[in-house]
Amino acid sequence: MTCITLDRVGVTLGRFKVLSEVTAQIPAGRQTVIIGPNGAGKSTLIQTILGQWPHTGTITFDPAVPRFGYVPQRLDFDRHMPLLVREFLALGISQRPLWLGLGPKVADRVFQGLEQVQAEYLVNKPMGSLSGGETQRVLLAAAMMTEPDVVVLDEPTTGVDISGEQLLCEILDSFKNNRTIVMVSHDLATAKAHGDWVICLNHRVVAQGRPEDIFKPAVLAATFGIHWGLEAQTGEGRSWEAPWNS
């Protein structure tokens, strides 16, 4: 079953055409990884899916109006700002202002959210004291607490050490049967090990398919431009049959 269908989607930012004729399918209840070189439009694509950029072409969803949980690549904040993890998580789910403290129901939800990402020990820690991996797990908890249909992650393993990355991937694996996960990643090893479906993007879709079909020298060369003259044409625009449709 397809959760998100992109049909000839194009995005122009200023004078620069970032995405052109992007046609792709994102399966429901699976983990889709979008890979591509720097500046290929990966982040723009997920921001377009999230409705942040105007686009040409069509994007259709199933369910028609999905609830998104978004995990940004980084937090744009002053690390010395006094803000506990439980306060940060309450910001997204509670109308009660932080200066009145957390109500008992919100405090319970926050703790359960942290339990989901094996981070309950962080509940009273300042946000600024977290490591890269801990920050990503807290951001994932924040996204999951909104009970999303689709979880969108923008390069979640950037700046995370190997053990933190492994833990994050295991947690994402445990979520994917109930949620659709869409992740932008620079890390090909992670994409290969944990992705169910891979979209190779370089302003347009170079190839899409299961990891075993995508992680071949010809397709990667076409996507990343390595040995361009020798093998570039081999993977151009190629799509493998989506297994959830067969």
The site for another protein (CB under 8 A) is made up of: 47, 50, 52, 70, 72, 75-78, 80-84, 87-88, 90-92, 94-101, 126-127
Question: By C-beta, is 70 or 215 nearer to another protein?
Answer: 70
Q: Least separation, in Å, of the C-beta of 244 and another protein?
A: 29
Q: Which is nearer to another protein, 126 or 211 (CB)?
A: 126
Q: Which is nearer to another protein, 70 or 197 (CB)?
A: 70
Nearer residue to another protein within complex by CB, 50 or 218: 50
Shortest Cβ distance from residue 17 to another protein (Å)?
Answer: 20
Shortest distance (Å) from residue 121 CB to another protein: 16
Dist. CA 9–CA 24, nearest whole Å? 9
Give me 197's structure tokens: 């479906």
Residue that is written with structure tokens 């600024």 in the block: 128
- Report, in Å, the least distance between residue 52 CB and another protein: 6
Closest CB 56 distance from another protein, rounded Å:
20
Which residue, 99 or 163, has its beta carbon nearer to another protein? Answer: 99
Nearer to another protein, 19 or 152 (CB): 152
Minimal distance in Å, beta carbon 200 to another protein?
A: 25
